[in-house]
């Protein structure tokens, strides 16, 4: 039985402990994914404002980038970007090579949303951009670019 993209994204959120701890969710409408970070007190970095910790913003955007990359790679008709071995219930995941975050304004103490775009998908490397917002889709609080190493088929 083949894995569907939907089940892989659900499995990713359920099986990666850190995603559970952070509380990230994925909202899927057709083939468009929005990664959601429900607000929680432990995510605060600046209690005076209060504002999200910069590390939380980074982790959230990196998660959104990975989710979009897995989704896009599994849906790509050229195939083979995310090899799944027969004995595996999940594909091996792309590894982050580097990740650069622009902090455009403070992340406030409320839910946050992020959407990724795979700019380039190759057999070895992928490049992904992410935008994140809170109240207003056109007022981004952070954006990021990351490069990922795609998992290679086993010989």
Q: Which of 18, 31, 120, 138 binds another protein (CB under 8 A)?
A: 18
Which stretch, 10-18, 31-39, 70-78, 120-128, contacts another protein (CB under 8 A)? 10-18
Helices (H), 3-153: 5-15, 17-22, 54-75
Burial degree of 63 (CB within 10 A; 0-12, 13-18, 19+) = buried
User: CB 127 → another protein: shortest distance, Å?
Assistant: 14
Which stretch, 30-38, 42-50, 112-120, 126-134, contacts another protein (CB under 8 A)? 42-50
* Residue 86 touching another protein (CB under 8 A): no
State both tokens at 84: 């799944």
Q: Report the b/e string of 67-98 with b at 16+ CB within 10 A.
A: bbbbbbbbeeeeeebbbbeeeeebbebbeeee
What whole-number distance in Å separates Cα of residue 36 and Cα of residue 34? 6
* Residue 154 touching another protein (CB under 8 A): no
Q: Which of 7, 27, 80, 95 binds another protein (CB under 8 A)?
A: 95
Which stretch, 38-46, 77-85, 112-120, 131-139, contacts another protein (CB under 8 A)? 38-46
Nearer of residues 42 and 78 to another protein, judged by Cβ: 42
* Residue 26 touching another protein (CB under 8 A): no
State both tokens at 39: 């607000």
CA distances from 91 to 7, 37, 152 (A): 11, 24, 11
| List of residues contacting another protein (CB under 8 A) | 15-22, 41-47, 53-56, 58-60, 62-63, 92-93, 95-103, 106
């Amino acid at each position: 039985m083949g894995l569907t993209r939907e089940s892989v994204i659900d499995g990713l959120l359920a099986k990666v402990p850190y995603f559970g701890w952070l509380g990230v969710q994925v909202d899927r409408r057709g083939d468009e994914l929005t990664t959601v970070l429900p607000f929680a007190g432990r995510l605060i970095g600046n209690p005076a404002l209060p504002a999200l910790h910069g590390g939380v913003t980074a982790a959230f955007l990196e998660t959104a980038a990975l989710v979009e990359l897995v989704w896009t790679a599994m849906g790509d008709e050229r195939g083979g970007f995310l090899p799944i071995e027969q004995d595996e219930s999940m594909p091996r995941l792309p590894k982050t090579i580097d990740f650069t975050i622009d902090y455009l304004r403070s992340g406030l103490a409320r839910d946050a949303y992020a959407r990724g775009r795979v700019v380039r998908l190759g057999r070895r490397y992928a490049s992904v951009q992410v935008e994140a917002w809170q109240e207003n889709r056109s007022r981004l609080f952070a954006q990021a670019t990351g490069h990922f190493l795609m998992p290679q088929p086993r010989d």
